Amino acid sequence: MDLIGIAENTVKIILILGLPSLLVSMVIGLLISVFQAVTQVSDASLSFVPKVIFVSIFVLISLPWIGDHIEAYTKDLWDLILVFGK
């Protein structure tokens, strides 16, 4: 594997780990926007606070999965250091 392959794997792991949290934030934002449109409530904190709470809960629940992916990727990088070091 070359440096371009390492960069591609890094971007891939970033997308894999970041996309679920982004999707949760988008779904919660959509639900809150529909709620605000129906009730005509236009409070800025109404859209911000629930997103922070739900995304934080989601990240805490998915931490073992995220940790496993980061651990495997880090081990792969250390193995590549040994290959490039020779």
- What's the distance, CA 66 to chain centroid? 9
Domain that holds residue 56: 3-85
What are the average pLDDT values for consecutive 10-residue runs of the chain, which has 86 residues? Answer: 87 94 93 88 81 93 95 92 79
User: Given this model, what pLDDT does residue 50 score?
Assistant: 87
What pLDDT shows up at residue 70? 95
**Tokens 């926007």, residue?**
33
What total number of domains does the chain contain?
1
CB 51, CB 32: distance < 8 Å: yes
